[in-house]
Chains A and B, each alone.
Chain A
Amino acid sequence: MKKAYRRLFLAIFCTFIFSIAINFHGQQSFAAGAKNVTITYWTHDEPTFLAANKELIARFEKQYPNIKVKHQYFPYDVLEAKEKAAYATKNESDVQQIFGSWAIEFTKHGLFDAVPKSMADEAKRKYFQAPLGGYTFQGKLYGIPREFNLENGGVLYYPNEIAAAGWEKFPETYQDLVGLAQKLTKYDSKGNITHYGFDFSSTDNVPYLFLSLILQQGGNYWKPDNVHVTFTTPEAEKAMQAMADLILKYKVCDMKHSNDPNVDISDYFFKGTSGMCFRGPWVIANGVNTYKLKNFRYAPMPSFTGKSLAFAAESGWGEVVSARSKNKKAAWTFIKFITSQKNNLLFNSKTYTIPADKSVAASAEFMKANPLIKPSLDVLPYGRPIGPLQSVDRFKQEIVYAQFQKVVDKKIDIKTALKAIETQTNSMIDELLAQ
């Protein structure tokens, strides 16, 4: 009996020691062939991002004591310029947080390190296609996304306002949405809008609404070569007509308030100047944290056709490693750690961002922490990468938004605008491909 106990105790003890050894080996796998390493890491300085990143770095350093992370953070536009300048002068950090649509300018010049094969294979299974798109170049993956950036799929609204307008619940058809927007719009004696019924007038949302209206009709804006675009299509014409109607025919929005660089259209909504606002879910954080509001909701944007919810998406924030980094192994170890399911959940919950990780998006834990985001999560499967436009910002601001502004100012007609969008986008693509 005693022997049996002794054997059992010995077996348990051995198992315990063995499991500790295995665990220790797992944690120290990087350390096996390495001394202490310091990796530099540049990120965006948005407060919620900062809090999440700092927590993840602390967790990482605890688990990997021989890797130190030197973390520096910068405002959005400074970060982009800094990263470009740093790569130009061969002075970049080991790891950078970038926005997916910036990646192509770097990847085509071979400046990012390709994701290690095992990680890349896992990422293709683990993440949504749209956020991966920005980090993919010629079939290879060059970064791991942490969010699914979205400017589609949801509309901010105040339940009490729509109830006062005679709507018990948020509209489920596009026609009803327009009807409600008309009821919510208020004007002064000169016909100027004082309260916007449906605000979509930002440089992000005009282009994204335009693209989604095309895709929802079953249209496509890429030519068969997948290099150049076509916008002289019946679907594009119908899409731009629908958007122009919102301003010129239904008069539920204007473009007069939307070019103030200091104010986001969601700020107008949170200040009570608009009844509905078509904006990405990331602005919810602004309403909750900055404006301390609890009386607004975020509803799914009804389909334009009643059949499809298709939309184009522009990747999202993610992490890349410099191809010149002397600490690639440590850098990828770090990225692998911070993009585990558990850490992705922490990051997306803290930052109010849509998960790029399918399992996080589907988790009850994430839903519980972010109930307002549900409409966005429901449309994620309908998202597709915006495509190789070479410069998404230029396409959005300088081309689509600029031409749409001319249409609503009645300076040009829709056909002329679409022709200009097609021509200018293709010449931009050619110019940037030649760089």
Chain B
Amino acid sequence: MLSLILAFYNYSPLNPKPPFVGLQNFINLWSDQVFHKSFFNTLKFVAIAVSANLVLAVLIAVSINSIAKKFFKNFFRTLYFLPTIAPLVAVSLIWATMFDPNYGVVNMVLGLFGKHTMIYWLTSDRLALLSVVIVTLWADLGYNIVILMAGLDSIPKMFYEAARIDGANRFHTFWEITLPLLTRTLLFVSVMTVISYFQVFTQVQVMTNGGPDYSSEVLAFTIYKDAFRFMKMGYASAISVILLGVIMVVSVLQLKLGKADWEY
């Protein structure tokens, strides 16, 4: 609420009487190229990372779920969940070291499969955002896997028995039974992931600082930078209001489009 009010002021916390600027902050955003870049980077990040997360999480959850032995099932579930409890700052720092073009383990491993070349993961404007996506997936995938496995466990076994009697193969079973009956869990997971990924910050702050040339700058990072580094708090509040609006619109759309008209 306060953020919404501050968006109409040229606010600095050091000035007890900040000047009222009306819609000026929003008008300035319209022509701010850094904001444009940051906005589209955020959309790009959310689109790529959420899609990749959901596809991988579903495939891994189904694979783990198909393991017969309970011990191994639990083992793999725990293994995938472990990265989610690691502090994101530490994870980002370690990955930044791994992505180092000269000494990083990522380039070393890639060198084993072909001619060694220096890939500038974090300092190339084509790869910086992709690197952030990779780290985000590694750190975050386990959470959705656990939720999807719970969703898979709740699908009644009789549907699978019926499919087996009808002679359906594994792909058909997955496509015609598992996926449709998992839509409610998928809807929850996708809404939560979208909301979370729109607010991506830590990895960008630690690994790339939004660079090079703003190629990995996202809205949460722009808000932080404008508010706390450059003391443009009114302006940062205006960006926050826009981010809130975008998250609300996307979430409402998701909930509308993902409505399921069945139950078991």
Binding site for B on A (CB under 8 A): 81, 84-85, 87-88, 105-106, 109, 111, 188-190, 192, 194, 255-262, 273, 391, 393-394, 398, 402, 405-406, 409, 411, 431, 434-435
Contacts and interface: CB of A to CB of B under 8 A. Distances in A.
A260 B96 contact: yes
A406 B34 CA distance: 13
B120 A256 contact: yes
30 contacts: A81-B228, A84-B13, A84-B231, A85-B13, A88-B13, A105-B12, A105-B14, A105-B231, A109-B15, A188-B118, A189-B117, A192-B101, A192-B118, A255-B212, A256-B123, A256-B124, A257-B120, A259-B122, A259-B209, A259-B211, A260-B208, A260-B209, A273-B102, A391-B231, A393-B230, A394-B229, A434-B19, A435-B11, A435-B12, A435-B231
Contact of B14 (A111, A190, A194, A260): A111
B69 to A, nearest CB: 42
A190 B117 CA distance: 8
B156 to A, nearest CB: 51
A85 B209 CA distance: 23
Interface string B222-255: 0000001111100000000000000000000000
Contact of A259 (B10, B11, B18, B208): B208
Q: How large is the interface on B (under 10, 10 to 19, 20 to 34, 35 or more residues)?
A: 35 or more
Given A84-B231, A262-B206, A188 B14 contact: no
Interface of B: 10-16, 18-19, 34, 93, 96, 101-102, 117-118, 120, 122-125, 205-209, 211-214, 228-232
Given A88-B13, A261-B208, A393-B230, A409 B125 contact: yes
A256 B212 contact: yes
Interface of A, helix, strand, loop or mixed by DSSP: loop
Chain B contact residues: helix, strand, loop or mixed: loop
B34 A84 contact: no
A259 B34 CA distance: 17
Contacts of A411: 213
Contacts of B118: 188, 190, 192, 194
Contacts of A398: 34, 230
Given A260-B123, A393-B229, 5 more contacts: A189-B117, A192-B101, A194-B102, A391-B231, A435-B18
